[in-house]
Structure 1
Amino acid sequence: MAEQTAQQIPGHVLSAFQLDGRAGIPLGPEWDNGVRFGRVVVSEASDTAAWSGKARDHAGEFGAGIAVSRPVRATDGRLVVGGFKASEFVEGQVRARIDEAVSAALRYDEAMAGVEPPAADRGDAFATAERAVWRDYTPQPDDVVAHMDFVSCLLFSGDMVPTLTDLVPSSGKRPRGFTAALVIVDGLLAEACDAAVLDRWAHVPELRGLARRALEYRAACARAAGSDIRSIVERVDEVLVSE
């Protein structure tokens, strides 16, 4: 999403979230390029923003190792107003702390047990790519809604519990461990970790198979965005297939 400024957010939106008259500070992609007004961040709402808000509203603490930014509702209770959403601001930055992110992703799976994915049949390029990756998969009873951009939404602040700024849901339920596999693949693609990460988390069931699906998904997303990362994907693929 494009970077927002306070001037670009309609006045009725700020009024609905009781933020009118306040000065805003533009934030980065970890906050959907939104604007911070004190302890509240306003940003453009995606197609799944209402789902994310409801899920985060009931989440509180995800567990001992992960927290979540709560949504801020408008004065009439809405989660989305005029194409914008609001969330509680939390301190922290996105860091290449891959092992900690993997641990948090596994706790995320526990927290999402019983949560259903968004009802709408999304037709965007990323959802289409995801469904193609899982076309041959038979759903299992303990599958959960995966987080498709976990690393980019996870903030670290010193020794504090890491916090998710948003939930980016899969279009359907996926095996537990897939979010963690996405974290590992993102780390390998960015060279933020080495192949040893696969050994450290080898106890996650079917980790390498999940990671191969994650890599296939990331490659498809790159193609949809017009990016050529074939050489990087090939490098990571070699890591995944080696024992």
Structure 2
Amino acid sequence: MTRAPDGGKTTRQLFREGMRDGTPIALGYLVVSFTLGITAHNAGLDALQGFIASFFNLASAGEYAAFTVIAADAPYWEMAAITLVANARYMLMSCVLSQKFSPATPFYHRLGVGFGVTDEIFGISISRQGFLQPAYNYGAMALAVPVWALGTSLGIVAGDVLPPSLLSALSVALYGMFIAIIIPPGKENKIVLGLVFISFAMSFLAANLPLVSELSGSSRTIILTLLISGAAAWRFPLREVAEEDS
């Protein structure tokens, strides 16, 4: 049992703490990934394919985009591009988490923790005091990652047995999840709220205007994401406030 420099806690204790904090995350993931499984079922994936896709993606928006591209029979480059755009924030989260590790942390541990970076796991990890220990993240991932993948498989299996009317209702739940993600920051920041409505309007226009509407849905999403996020970053940059020494 290896000692870890986290208040004298052992690796096993840190792993258990990660599992404890990861339990509510895993329960939430089961519900969300189940609705993603409905989308994967509509795209023609079986339970095993859905499990593998979710296990190695771990991103609701990224997976939804990928499953939508698969359903549209779009080319691989579109799937790669839209998944990269949808999941780009995880690269930034990984960079932040890398600053929480001790300089002596081996690269393979950094790589392992990076594999399991999600919004929720990032949240519980960044709130830890002192250096971040990989054992804690592995504990959280040990539950959250397989449960996320399992939920997708269960959604696909449900798609084979549930009536179409119920499947249609369950599919709407995923859109409800996305709305729940954008409403809280929109209430706190009017700029974010404005950008959300601009995105709605531009998406509608892109789907109906000549020439642009002839592009696939995933291509329009990639173009609009890059244009709107780039313009927002240029027009409304976040200013870092330097902390004054007391």
The two structures share one fold, judged by TM-score above 0.5: no
TM-score, scaled to structure 2: 0.26
Structure showing greater Rg: 2
Instruction: Indicate the structure with greater strand content.
Output: 1
Instruction: Indicate the structure with greater helix content.
Output: 2
TM-score, scaled to structure 1: 0.26
Structure number with the bigger relative contact order (C-alpha 8 A, sep ≥ 6) is: 2
